[in-house]
Amino acid sequence: KQLYPKADITVGGFETTDRRDFFDLAIGNVPFGQYQVNDKAYNKLNFSIHNYFFGATRS
């Protein structure tokens, strides 16, 4: 915020944000597991939780 005061910076969990429009950078600790996330936009792709985070953050 200090370096880019006009930037819209979101600090929060992926599940609590709705930033599917556009973003320059996402930093996180991607979870690993053999289970899926229920998300209507991505259910047809059958992503595991790890791949869901990579697929859902591609714009």
| CB 57 within 8 Å of CB 27 | no
Summarize pLDDT for 5-28 with one digit per residue, the tens.
Answer: 888 777 777 667 766 666 666 667
Q: Return left, alpha or beta for 9; rule: phi > 0 is left, psi -120 to 50 is alpha, else beta.
A: beta
Q: Give Cβ neighbours of residue 43 (< 8 Å, ≥ 6 apart).
A: 36
Question: Both tokens of residue 57?
Answer: 């953050």
Q: Is the pLDDT of residue 58 over 60?
A: no
Q: Give the mean pLDDT of the chain.
A: 76
pTM: 0.46
Give the rounded percent of residues in the chain with a pLDDT score beyond 90.
0
Q: Is the pLDDT of residue 59 over 60?
A: no
pLDDT at 54: 72
